[in-house]
Amino acid sequence: MIRIGRLQSFSDAVIAIIVTIMVIQFKVPSGTDIFALKDIIPTFLAYLLSFSVVLGIYWNNNHNLIHPEKPVTTDIMWANLHLLFWLSLVPFATTWIGLHYSNSFPTAFYALLMLLCAIAYNILESAIERHHGKNAKLAGSFANIIKRKVTQTLYLFAIGAAFISPWISDLLFVVVSVVWLIPDEKIKRSTFLLR
């Protein structure tokens, strides 16, 4: 019997590798002045985006996966591997959008991959809830649900927007990063006021 804690450590390791190996694909500039860095700025920004979105969402969402001692069932295991599979393609999509940031298709591809990661995360969470029950008192879970709905909607828009102008999609990617930077408590309070 494998416990969720071990699958979690494994997933943490995969995430650590994913965000770190992206940097190997930075080409070291042949020039030696400040202008030599100009060529890698798009790649750098794409990396900054993927780094913060992958890690931000992954770590924030992990609030809900808090049963390290419970056993892993076959469907939890596959749901987790399914999430890791899409996440593992992030370095590829990041390098592609970094090199061709003004083109529609690499931008739409990046948005699609991010959407698939988000959906895979939901599938994993449902699988865990199905077996181990919902944790109703979970702090910040309400704000978390809002963040995730917003994220998925923005990625969906970003796929379409890439074919009008990739810059709209880029803007939406930045908005997603900012959404995850806001502490859950602030969202809770503001949605309370809206009601």
Chain residues that interact with its own copies, rule: CB under 8 A: 1-2, 6-10, 12-21, 23-26, 28-29, 32-34, 36-37, 48, 51-52, 55-56, 59-60, 62-63, 66, 72-75, 77-78, 81, 84-85, 88-89, 91-92, 95-96, 99-100, 103-106, 109, 139, 181, 183-184
CA distance 25 to 130: 40
What residues does 3 pair with on adjacent strands? 71
Name every residue whose Cβ is closer than 8 Å to that of residue 155 and which is 6 or more positions away in sequence. Answer: 111, 112, 114, 115, 118, 172, 176
Query: Which of residues 47 and 155 has its CB atom nearest to its own copies in the complex?
Result: 47
Least Å distance between CB 10 and its own copies? 5
Query: Is 9 or 153 the residue whose CB approaches its own copies more closely?
Result: 9
Question: Is the CB of 94 or the CB of 155 nearer to its own copies?
Answer: 94
Residue 9 is which amino acid? S
